[in-house]
């Protein structure tokens, strides 16, 4: 499958699943705009590598996903410098683990803002261009936590359940226009987001690092293996192809059997 001539914009894509999306789409020839935070030199190296991989232009945006005006400006810049986004992937996410009585309200607001509201603002910005072209692919990185809950993750679970509902709604709105909207719901993927929540889980549950890894993170996944970012990215590439034109409004699990239980 070739995505040559297509333009993709991916939020939260300077590492982890988001960067895997960018690499997979660039490998198919798409021009890409990546977004996120991190070391400036490392990000520039990734941007250059994406251009070499795709033979198309690659851009970086440091747009803050808590600021709707910056999200809109990011899409506008992508349109001007690469092209109207054909593919938009809402991947930005943060996490905080705590019991509800200990959960800081500002953490709730940040998680809902970045994990859910930013996806809405991204969709709002890209849908008109996709409708005008009569073709588009919108993908959201949800989670097994869009289908089942875990303790101490009230904001994250609420955001991911909301994201699954948002996907279904916008899928219905865009279905007559050649635009598909889906979410991928991985189990635990070995990314900085997962690694960084280990200390909080150790503290909140009084466990060692190994206990968190084996008895908490992988306890729910029958395969007892972390999902790899490249696996998630491969599914996203498939969803961008013509063979997936009838898949819309779907919540696709990739969780090692977690939600089959």
Identify the pLDDT of residue 214: 85
Residue 156 falls in the annotated catalytic set:
yes
Instruction: Give the side-chain half-sphere CA count within 13 A for 153.
Output: 23
3-state class of 101 per DSSP?
A: helix
pLDDT at site 132: 98
Taking the CA atoms of 230, 234, 239 and 242 in sequence, report the sign of the dihedral they define: positive
pLDDT tens-place values along the chain, 261 residues long: 799 999 999 999 999 999 999 999 999 999 999 999 999 999 999 999 999 999 999 999 999 999 999 999 999 999 999 999 999 999 999 999 999 999 999 999 999 999 999 999 999 999 999 999 999 999 999 999 999 999 999 999 999 999 999 999 999 999 999 999 999 999 999 887 778 878 988 998 899 998 988 888 888 899 988 999 999 999 999 999 999 999 999 999 999 999 999
Q: Which residues contact 123 (CB under 8 A, 6 or more apart)?
A: 88, 90, 138, 166, 170, 181
User: What pLDDT score was predicted for residue 197?
Assistant: 78
List phi, psi (to 5°) of 58: -125, 135
Q: Please, what sign has the CA dihedral across residues 223, 226, 228, 229?
A: positive
Q: What is the pLDDT of residue 191?
A: 82
* CA quadruple 100, 104, 105, 108: dihedral sign: negative
Supply the pLDDT for residue 166: 98
The pTM is what? 0.94
Catalytic, out of 60, 156, 188, 238: 156
What is 7-187+227-254's CATH superfamily? NAD(P)-binding Rossmann-like Domain (3.40.50.720)
């Amino acid at each position: 499958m070739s995505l040559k001539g297509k333009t993709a914009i991916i939020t939260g894509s300077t590492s982890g699943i988001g960067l895997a999306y960018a690499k997979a789409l660039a490998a198919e020839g798409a021009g890409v705009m990546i977004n996120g935070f991190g070391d400036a030199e490392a990000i520039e190296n990734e941007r250059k590598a994406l251009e070499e991989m795709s033979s198309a232009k690659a851009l970086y945006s440091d747009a803050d996903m808590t600021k709707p005006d910056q999200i809109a400006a990011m899409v506008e810049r992508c349109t001007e410098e690469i092209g109207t986004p054909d593919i938009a992937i809402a991947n930005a996410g943060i996490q905080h683990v705590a019991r509800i009585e200990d959960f800081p309200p500002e953490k709730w607001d940040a998680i809902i803002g970045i994990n859910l509201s930013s996806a809405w603002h991204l969709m709002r910005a890209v849908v008109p261009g996709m409708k005008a072209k009569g073709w588009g692919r919108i993908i959201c990185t949800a989670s097994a936590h869009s289908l089942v809950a875990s303790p101490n993750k009230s904001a994250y679970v609420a955001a991911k359940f909301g994201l699954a509902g948002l996907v279904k709604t916008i899928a219905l709105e865009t279905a007559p226009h050649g635009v598909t909207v889906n979410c991928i719901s991985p189990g635990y993927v070995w990314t900085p987001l997962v690694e960084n929540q280990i200390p909080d889980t150790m503290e909140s549950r009084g466990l060692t690092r190994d206990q968190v890894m084996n008895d908490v993170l992988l306890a729910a996944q029958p395969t007892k293996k972390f999902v790899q970012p490249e696996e998630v990215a491969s599914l996203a590439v498939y969803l961008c192809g013509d063979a997936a034109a009838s898949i819309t409004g779907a919540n696709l699990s990739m969780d090692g059997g977690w939600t089959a239980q």
